[in-house]
Amino acid sequence: MNLPLVYFLVAGVSGLFVYVLYLLGRFPQFPCVFKTLTGYPCPTCGTTRSVMHLLHFDIVTAFLYNPLFFLGGIVFGIWVIYGFYMLFSRKKVEVTFTKNEGRFLKWGIFLLFILNWLYLIAAGI
C-alpha cells in the first residue's frame, strides 16, 4: 500500500471540506481548552489561525502563528512526492538509521516541539 498517497488523499479531502466550510462561513472555531484552563497556549495553538491565513495566501503571518505547522507541512510534502515516485517508478527508497542517528532524530523532533511551544508562549499566541 502506498501510504503517502493514502494520507495525501485523506488530507486533500479533509482540506477541501474545511475550505468549503470556510467559504460558506460555517467553519467552527472553538477556544483552546488547554489555554482556557491554564492561560498558556497548547503546543498546537495557532494552527487554525495559520490555516485561515494560508487560505488568504498570507504566508508570513501563517508561519508566525505556528512555525512547526509549516515544518510538518514541508515534511508531509516531501513524503507525498516520495509516494508519487513510488507510484510511477515502482521502486522503494529505503532510509535506515543507526541507533545513534535514530536517537538523535527523536530528540531533535522533541526539541523542535518544545522550542515551538516556547515560541508560542513567548509570542502570546
pTM score, two decimals? 0.73
| Grid cell locating 16 | 477541501
Of 57, 58, 52, nearest to 23 (Cα)?
52
Q: What is the DSSP letter of 66?
A: -
Tens of pLDDT, residue by residue, the chain (125 residues)? 777 788 888 888 887 887 788 778 787 777 888 999 999 999 888 888 888 888 788 989 989 999 998 888 888 888 888 888 888 888 887 888 899 999 999 999 999 999 999 999 999 88
Task: Count the residues in the chain.
Answer: 125
- Domain boundaries, given as residue ranges, for the chain: 3-123
Of 8, 7, 4, 6, nearest to 82 (Cα)?
4
